[in-house]
Every structure is written in structure tokens, then in C-alpha cells.
Structure 1
Amino acid sequence: MGALNFRSRLAPYIIGLIEQKRALGYKYTAQVKILQKFDMLCAERFSEDSTVTKAMLDVWAVKGSEEAPGTLRHRVTVIAHLAQHIASLGLYAYIYPTNELPKEPKYNPYIFSGDELTRFFRQVDCCHFSSEVPNRHLIMPTLFRILYCCGLRPGEVLRLEVGDVDLKKGVLLVRASKNDNDRYVPMSHELTEVCRRYAAEVHFNGVTHKYFFPAPNGGMISSMNIYTNFHRFLRKAGISYGGKGKGPRVYDFRHTFAVHCLRHLVLSGKDIAVYHQALKTYMGHSFFKYTAYYLKLTTDMFPDIREKMEVYYKLNIDGSVVCHE
């Protein structure tokens, strides 16, 4: 903890919050960076204050010119949690009403059709060798297949280290995903074989990489790199791109995975009440409501399965899902 070097009078409470979160099993790394910046603000402009005040938040909660609403909400929420921690100790602290923060514009997920996926992966597999990025033609076909076949978040795929990919058992270890949780994600036999062939060419004897999908400099591939290639493959596959905020997005492979998975389960006559819980764990959702969102999305995309879905769930007009007792 000493290495964090908090300087404001809130330091004991900040350290106490971090210790509490980590004791509960959270990695709590991105939040620490936010707390460090807040501590710096407090040390420089509110050096006499030993608790979270409204004056601090009047400065901290100002949206940056290029800042996304979600980013603002996240960094203000972390400080709200700090204030709640201080209040739990019986002291006064100003807790910012985060429900009043601007919300991200609603994005309607783009669900790829079977034909679109075929066209997209045909173009991915045509990715050619480049001396500037020598492993690109090997990385892209495998990386995008993991995105779709496992429903991983883009950042989760990029952060996979060589030791996180068990090529013998066909299991991925996803570390420090959303909410700082770790989880194991099994792969199909076909995808495991794809990963084995890829690893044999990129991670052969004598070549050491930290990341399963290494950048040319040995570090982690940037998300911008993936998006650049993604848009190129879309264009060559004849799939229209609606522009920023409209999609398709790389993240839509995760949405597509969930919808296609649920549709397959329903049409196969599986007990959705059981498999839906498994899907929740597989996708790394903290709460049932996040996975339940895909039930509504699936019935909207494929009305023919709505009647079968309603055997297990009540689908409300507003899109919420309620389990039958």
C-alpha cells in the first residue's frame, strides 16, 4: 500500500476502502488509479478537508470535453463509494447522487446473421502476411473466432496471456474482467484446435511472448488495431457500417454469441431456466438481469421462438424479464 503514496487527508479512508474491496476478492486496480487522481486533487485544492465534500465533487464531477458519459459515471461512482465507506464509519461525507449523471446514449446491438458471419470470416481468413505486422494474418482469424465463439469482451481477449490459454483442456482463464472477477471459459473442440494451430506458429519453441495475441513490439495489441482491421473486414464482406454509435461494433460479436446461443437452446428443447444460469456464469455477468436482457433481444430477433421462451419467462413490454415462480 505504501507504494500508492496518497498525500491528502483522505488517505486513511482511501487505503481502508481499497483494503476492504480487496479483502472481498476484488482486484480493484482501475479504481485505485481513479482514487489516486482524486487524492491529488484533494491534496492540491482541498488540503484542509479530511472527508469528501460537495465542493470537491463540484470540481471532480465536471465532464471533460472528450469524456464519454460512461467514463464520467465510473470515476464519480468510485468517489461515491469512498464517501459511503467514510459514512459507514459514522463520519459525515457527501455522497454524490450518481443517478443524476448523464447516461450513455442507448445503443441497439447489431446481431450478425449466419450469412454475415460466413462472409466476415471468409475475409478474415484472407488476411495476408505483412512484414510490418508479421503475425497479423495468424492473429486475426483466431482472435475474432474467440470473440464470437466464446462471447468474450474485446478487452478480455486482448489481455489473454500465454499461460491463460490451456490448449490441452481447451479452457481460457479470463482474468480481472468486468467487476474484477476471474472466470474459466471452455472452448469447443474445433476452436481449441484452431488455437493449437495458431500457437504452433506464433508461440513455437524458443519464442517467448507474454500475450497470446502479441503486438509486434511484444506488448498487448491495442483496441484501435482490432477496430481498424474489423472495419476493413466488414467493408470487404459487404456489411454496412453505420458509423460511430451505430455499429456494427467488435463488441457485437458478444451480443451475437448470446442471442445465437439462446436461440439454439430453445430450438433444441433445452431447459432454459437451467442453461440461462450457465450462460450467466460463462459470460461473466454479475447479475441475472444482464443475461436476461438477451432473452428479450432473442425474441425480438426471432419471433418464432417467443412462445417457447414464454414457457419459462414473462417478457414485459419494457424489455425486462421476470422468472415464473
Structure 2
Amino acid sequence: MNDHVASTALDPVITRYLAHRRALGRQYDMQERTLHSLTNFLVQAGESDLSSGLFESWCRMFESLTANVRRARQVAVRNFCLYRQRTEPRCFVPDINRFARTQPPPAPTILTPAQVGQLLELADTREATATSPLRPYVLRLALVLLYTAGLRRRELVRLTLADVDAHAGVLRVRESKFHKSRWVPLSCGARRELCRYLVHRLATPLDTTPSSPLLCNMHHGLRGYTGSGLRRGIMELLHDAGIWDVDGRVPRIQDFRHSFAIEVLMRWYRQGADVQSNLPKLALYMGHVSIVSTAYYLRWTPELQELASNRFAKQFGYLVRGEQR
């Protein structure tokens, strides 16, 4: 989507609307970009306000995108129009029945420790470049933190040196989803990877001020990796490793977060822990408001099924066999 370069009569209303939604704890970054795309379109069309025909024309600009993305943008505009309608009853409001129909998201690909190990080996073979002198080290640390700490991609690229306590093995995630901040303790292995990375990151001539990005490159001066740049690097590793699901689909970056959650559950089963009572701890670690959000990541895999079934058989198998204790 283009940056907002135009001004319309809708701008003050959009500003108030975004402030209202963010006061409720929402980030609304995607919605802001969508609304600015719409106002830019209106200016280019020589129009000052939205109508049914203009809305349809704007929607045709992104017909090549997935149905879910198209609908999300259409809903963002409709919600804004509903807000505007409170003070301007005659304003146009899009008909939700004409929006793109949502499609179920693809099932996540759960990565195994062996596959992640393969990706780490490939990351070591990547060559540094003039614009990305830390490329192999960045990719390796990113894989470790995505898989062992379950970080969101946006959380990872926003980390600064001030957010890292390598001695204690803790990361500070600032104002993530729903403006929630949290501390993320790292495993012993992830802490070692972080320390190894910092040896290169803190070397001259890179900027080592606390506010500088943890994952950085040298494109037009030192700056942090973008989410899309990190995604490209990891997707290349996945392609080269030949990792895909039964439908030939390469895992997405968010699949590392799914894999983290499943691996935590399997570890608890192997340790004999009370999985149900531990779920709030997992929700807290992943930055969720409640375990309802965490449940989205808890897929029923064959490995998890076997562990759960074995525990049930050990505890209550005598009932199935008709035995007495």
C-alpha cells in the first residue's frame, strides 16, 4: 500500500477514529494504512468523499490479493464508515454482504527439532554482504528465537540492544499486540546463541547504542531488519532445505510460533507435568490475554496424540480393560 501523501476532508475524522480505537488498546496499524490508501485513491480520482462506485473501484485495485486480505481491508473501511455515521447519518457505508468471502487459513506446518537444526546449518552457509554484514548470524539467531521463544515476527524485528539482557538470558518485548509488554526468559541454548550473536553485533564499526536494533543491516546506514526482509531470508532457507507440507506448501514464519507451542506441550507430557494447569503460563509467555488465544496454536498432531494417549492409558487404562484397582 502506498504511503499517505494526500489530504482529504476525511482526514480529521480518520484521525479521531484511530485515536478512539487505540484508546481501547488496539494498534490499528493495518487499518490506518488501509484508510490512507483509500483517501489517496479519492484524491487521485478527483473526489472528496466516498461513494458506492468509488468504493468498488478502490476494491478492484487489490483483486489479486487473497480473499481474507481483501475482506480485512473492506471491513476496516466499513468500521470507519460506521463510526463516521454516528455524526454524519447520511454518509456512505459499504454493504458487508458484498465483501469477499473469508477462506479458512491453511493449517500450520509443525516444524521438528531436526528440521530446525537443518535450517541452522544452512544459515551458517549464507554469505555476508556489504548491506548485510551480519546476515548468517542474524538468520541463525532469528530461527532460534522464533522456534524456542515463540516470538512474533514483529516482536523480533523491534528488539533493540536495550531489550536484551544476555547475562540473565531475558528479552524485553515492548508494547506488542494489544499494547502488552512482557519479559521473555530464554532457554540455555537460546541464551548461548544470543551471546554468540552479540560478539559480532557489538563489534566495530556497528552502532552499539542501547536504542539501536538487535537485528541490523547496513542498507543506507545502520537500521533494523524489516519483517519482509527477515521473511525473505528465512523462506529461502526453507526452500533450500526442502521443507514443505503434504500439499507442497512451504511453512510460514508464524508456523514457528505454532511449532513452539506444540513443542512446549509435548515437553510437559514427557515430564509428567499437569498440562492443563500450565496453560496459563504458556499464555503469559506468548503474550496472550488468556488461554483462549493460546488454544489457537495448540494443534492435535500425531506425536502429541501419542503422548496424551499414553498418559491416559497409564492413568486410566485399567478402566478400559475392566480391571479393578
TM range (shorter): 0.7 to 0.9
Corresponding residue to 1:273 among 273, 276, 293: 276
Q: Aligned AA for 1:170?
A: G
TM-score normalized by the length of structure 2: 0.75
* Structure 2 gap segments, 5+ residues each: 313-325
- Decide whether the 8 Å contact of 2:130 with 2:218 is kept in 1: no
Moved more, 72-81 or 6-15: 6-15
Tell me the distance in 2 between the aligned counterparts of 1:110 and 1:63: 31
- Decide whether the 8 Å contact of 1:170 with 1:188 is kept in 2: yes
SS of 1:263's equivalent? helix
SS of 1:246's equivalent? coil
Q: Aligned AA for 1:250?
A: I
- Decide whether the 8 Å contact of 1:241 with 1:248 is kept in 2: yes
Q: What is the deviation of 1:23?
A: 2.2
SS of 1:184's equivalent? strand
- Decide whether the 8 Å contact of 1:86 with 1:92 is kept in 2: no
Aligned ranges for residues 239-254 of structure 1 at < 5 Å?
239-241=242-244, 246-254=249-257
Q: What is the deviation of 1:148?
A: 0.6
- Decide whether the 8 Å contact of 1:263 with 1:298 is kept in 2: no
Tell me the distance in 2 between the aligned counterparts of 1:98 and 1:308: 48
Tell me the distance in 2 between the aligned counterparts of 1:243 and 1:303: 19
RMSD, matched Cα: 3.6
CA separation of 1:8/1:245 partners in 2, compared to 1, >3 Å: closer, same or farther? Answer: farther
Tell me the distance in 2 between the aligned counterparts of 1:215 and 1:298: 39
Tell me the distance in 2 between the aligned counterparts of 1:151 and 1:42: 41
Q: Aligned AA for 1:76?
A: Q
SS of 2:217's equivalent? coil
SS of 1:191's equivalent? helix
Q: What is the deviation of 1:82?
A: 0.6
- Decide whether the 8 Å contact of 1:28 with 1:180 is kept in 2: no
Q: What is the deviation of 1:56?
A: 4.1
- Decide whether the 8 Å contact of 2:147 with 2:256 is kept in 1: yes
TM-score normalized by the length of structure 1: 0.75
CA separation of 1:305/1:63 partners in 2, compared to 1, >3 Å: closer, same or farther? Answer: farther
Corresponding residue to 1:298 among 300, 313, 319: 300
Q: What is the deviation of 1:122?
A: 3.3
Tell me the distance in 2 between the aligned counterparts of 1:55 and 1:200: 58
Aligned ranges for residues 45-194 of structure 1 at < 5 Å?
45=45, 47=47, 49=49, 53-62=51-60, 64-89=62-87, 91-93=89-91, 94-97=93-96, 100-104=99-103, 106-127=105-126, 133-175=132-174, 177-178=176-177, 181-194=180-193
- Decide whether the 8 Å contact of 2:71 with 2:99 is kept in 1: no
SS of 1:62's equivalent? helix
- Decide whether the 8 Å contact of 1:299 with 1:305 is kept in 2: no
* Structure 1 gap segments, 5+ residues each: 311-325
Q: How many residues align?
A: 304
- Decide whether the 8 Å contact of 1:34 with 1:75 is kept in 2: yes
% identity of equivalent residues: 23
